[in-house]
Amino acid sequence: MKKIRIGIIGSGIQGVCSALFLQKKDYEITLFDREEPGSSAASYGNAGHFSPYASIPLNRPDILADVPAMLLSSNGPLALKWNYVPKMIPWFLKFIKNCSKKNMMHTAKYMHQILDLALPAYDELFEEIDLSGLVENKGIMYIWNDQNLKSRELENKIRDEIGAEQQLLNKKEIHDLEPNIKKIYHAGVFYKKAKHARNPGKIWVKLFENFLKKGGKFLKLNVQDLNFDNDSPVIRSETQRFVFDKLVIACGAFSKKLTDKLHESIPLETERGYHIHFKDCDHLISRPVVFQNKGFGMTPMEQGLRVVGTVEFGGLKNQLTKSRIKNLVNNAKFLLDGLPEHEDEWLGFRPTLPDYLPVIGPSKNYKNVFYSFGHHHLGWTLGAISGKIISKMISNEKTNLALDPYSSLRFS
């Protein structure tokens, strides 16, 4: 019998994980990407945290009061490209609406639902590849140096309520875990079950190679348009067309260009983020450390110490902002002595919806098209579970999850 053909646009962590779970169900899969997997996308440059605890969203009542001060501070975690502000206004208005306590709790509940399954879903993919030395089980630590615990009290309380495991740390406990961090901190929290990647790009490529080994096809192509041959989706570049039975759009922050073509208005924006490396400095810490007030983190990786941070609203076309790089350098030096010149200045695009839930599910207008994008700060953690959900949706298998909260229909 002829196999059902599925095209997936975007071979980032979402696209590759969907492909691998769909292969388990014996579909014929073709992945499309304009770049080589593992090269430059968010799935390459992220902080490498597998963060099953991170269900408290950024849409929360207390954040609105903090935003003006954050924007005015040149070394704070938040930045704007002023030329992009007019385009951002509709997204910001939707975001503000989602900052009510009720909407925050809705997001926390449904992020927790999938985050809780994120690591077991990866286990199903990782057992088929050799990841020696690439995933560490040493937890993730957050520290802060202000004594105003109001927003953290809120976070800790919600995490307790939804059952996300956490351990509050005093100064001595922080020092015992990470003795090289300067003692500027006031307190911290430790997420013992979290893991980290020593090289997200390499893990992504290993998953991709497994997809090819199992008979998957990859075409390097910039997908420019979509249309339909009866109900069958057709992927088009400037010169070629490919017809499929089903289609998955997994283009991260770039997905909106294609969903607009399907006559669906989904308010996807990007939160731009940056990384740099301090070569040969990964031995300075044993696990990811996030400095919460300044909104940046450091992860020990194969490339050295990766310093990651910033939420910059500025769209997909603006160039990298040099002052954000400088900010990362200064922040890292605030926490660690003896850092050399940094290397590898990288800008990446987190795909974010204003309610901080991803879109996972069928398109509103076309029954053979499915979406998996909008995983914001957690797309690396959520790759495998989102792929597993997509594979179950496409094969009409029941799950015992509530999936409506991830539907794009919430924006109709």
Ligand X SMILES: Cc1cc2nc3c(=O)[nH]c(=O)nc-3n(C[C@H](O)[C@H](O)[C@H](O)COP(=O)(O)OP(=O)(O)OC[C@H]3O[C@@H](n4cnc5c(N)ncnc54)[C@H](O)[C@@H]3O)c2cc1C
- Compute the distance between CA of residue 56 and CA of residue 158 in angstroms, rounded to an integer: 7
Q: Give the residue with the Cβ less far from ligand X, 337 or 411.
A: 411
CA atoms within 13 A on the CB side of 209: 12
- Compute the distance between CA of residue 6 and CA of residue 19 in angstroms, rounded to an integer: 9
Query: In the bound complex, what is the minimum distance in angstroms from residue 138's beta carbon to ligand X?
Result: 14
Contact residues for ligand X (CB under 6 A)? 9-15, 32-35, 41-43, 46-49, 51, 222-223, 250-254, 273, 275, 308, 348, 350-351, 373, 375-381
- Using an 8 Å Cβ cutoff, are 391 and 22 in contact? yes
- Using an 8 Å Cβ cutoff, are 349 and 272 in contact? yes
The CB-nearest residue to ligand X is 379
Query: In the bound complex, what is the minimum distance in angstroms from residue 102's beta carbon to ligand X?
Result: 25
- Compute the distance between CA of residue 293 and CA of residue 77 in angstroms, rounded to an integer: 8
> Degrees (nearest 5) of the Cα angle 226, 231, 232?
55
Report the DSSP pairing between strands 304-313 and 296-301. Answer: antiparallel
Q: Give the residue with the Cβ less far from ligand X, 291 or 380.
A: 380
Q: Give the residue with the Cβ less far from ligand X, 10 or 405.
A: 10
Query: In the bound complex, what is the minimum distance in angstroms from residue 258's beta carbon to ligand X?
Result: 6
Could you give the C-alpha distances from 291 to 125, 187, 294, 308, 401, in angstroms and in order? 31, 11, 6, 11, 34
Q: Give the residue with the Cβ less far from ligand X, 273 or 354.
A: 273
Q: Give the residue with the Cβ less far from ligand X, 106 or 236.
A: 236
CA atoms within 13 A on the CB side of 304: 15
Q: Give the residue with the Cβ less far from ligand X, 47 or 169.
A: 47
Q: How far is CA 168 from the centre of its chain?
A: 25
- Using an 8 Å Cβ cutoff, are 342 and 276 in contact? yes
Q: What residues contact residue 237 under an 8 Å CB cut-off, 6+ apart? A: 221, 222, 223, 224
Terminal-residue alpha carbon distance, the chain:
38
How many C-beta atoms lie closer than 10 Å to residue 183's C-beta? 10
Query: In the bound complex, what is the minimum distance in angstroms from residue 279's beta carbon to ligand X?
Result: 19
Listed in order, strand segments (DSSP E) in 86-186 are 135-136, 140-144, 167-169
Query: In the bound complex, what is the minimum distance in angstroms from residue 208's beta carbon to ligand X?
Result: 10
Q: Give the residue with the Cβ less far from ligand X, 34 or 333.
A: 34
Q: Give the residue with the Cβ less far from ligand X, 23 or 46.
A: 46
Query: In the bound complex, what is the minimum distance in angstroms from residue 298's beta carbon to ligand X?
Result: 11
Strand partners, 29: 6
Q: Give the residue with the Cβ less far from ligand X, 124 or 175.
A: 124
Query: In the bound complex, what is the minimum distance in angstroms from residue 373's beta carbon to ligand X?
Result: 5
Query: In the bound complex, what is the minimum distance in angstroms from residue 65's beta carbon to ligand X?
Result: 25
Q: What residues contact residue 313 under an 8 Å CB cut-off, 6+ apart? A: 79, 80, 81, 84, 85, 88, 269, 270, 271, 272
Q: Give the residue with the Cβ less far from ligand X, 42 or 325.
A: 42
Considering only CA atoms, which of 53, 114, 91 is closest in space to residue 361?
A: 114
Query: In the bound complex, what is the minimum distance in angstroms from residue 364's beta carbon to ligand X?
Result: 19
Query: In the bound complex, what is the minimum distance in angstroms from residue 137's beta carbon to ligand X?
Result: 15
